[in-house]
A and B are shown apart, each in its own frame.
Chain A
């Protein structure tokens, strides 16, 4: 099975900061990749699909990039409502998720 390694596992940043989360796949997965946001007690919300396509309704401060084995989620100006855990997912071979990155406000 394809393993996804997210880093960091947690981070703390100030409002307005640019935040970067990375996800590395154990083998190449082309652009079969997505990012989700999960707030406490809620279901995950799709943010990015096909590595860099922004889901409808998601704020433009969220962006995704990467292909192959290395992927990045960037939040360009962190807002208080962005406090959440972020997960990556690959759908190249079966379906697996990364371990998550918890984002907090400093």
Chain B
């Protein structure tokens, strides 16, 4: 069974870089035509798509965050990563890694698999 697990610091200082990794088990990132993504949820608020990446490295980002985020993939380690630059308190959220539900080779799809989430708090 496919499992996704986020890892990374729970506390980041304002203006610094938030870095998270999603390790995939029970399946290989480069074995299918799926997109792997990041979604975040500020405490008590709704969901926001951050971006998605293909095993080849092709990426798509939320236009509202595109200037401050980067997603990368390391197929040899079967994981993908997120960086959010110049963070502020508004970046405090639970960050989820995901996999799409269709494997059509297109990022624009629903999310079938989710990690348990990693709360990141930005401190001043």
Question: Which residues of B are interface residues toward A (Cβ below 8 A)?
Answer: 46-49, 52, 60, 62-64, 96, 101, 107-112, 114-117
Contacts and interface: CB of A to CB of B under 8 A. Distances in A.
A98 B114 contact: no
10 tightest A-B CB contacts, nearest first: A34-B110, A43-B114, A95-B49, A97-B47, A91-B108, A49-B110, A99-B46, A100-B46, A91-B109, A46-B112
What does DSSP make chain A's interface, helix, strand, loop or mixed? Answer: loop
A32 interface: yes
B61 to A, nearest CB: 9
13 contacts: A1-B63, A1-B64, A34-B110, A42-B116, A43-B96, A43-B115, A43-B116, A87-B47, A89-B47, A89-B110, A91-B110, A97-B47, A97-B49
B108 A92 contact: yes
Of listed A36, A49, A91, A93, residue having the most chain B CB within 10 A = A91
Given A1-B64, A89-B47, 10 more contacts: A1-B63, A43-B96, A43-B116, A49-B110, A87-B46, A91-B108, A94-B60, A95-B62, A97-B46, A98-B46
Interface of A: 1, 32, 34, 36, 42-46, 49-50, 55, 87, 89, 91-100
A50 B60 CA distance: 21
Nearest to A48: B110
B62 A44 contact: no
A96 B110 CA distance: 10
Contacts of B117: 43
Of listed B48, B101, B111, B115, residue having the most chain A CB within 10 A = B111
A97 B48 contact: yes
Given A32-B108, A46-B110, A55-B112, A94 B46 contact: no
Contacts of A98: 46
A90 B94 CA distance: 21
A44 B63 CA distance: 23
A55 B46 CA distance: 22
Of listed B48, B110, B111, residue having the most chain A CB within 10 A = B110
Nearest to A95: B49
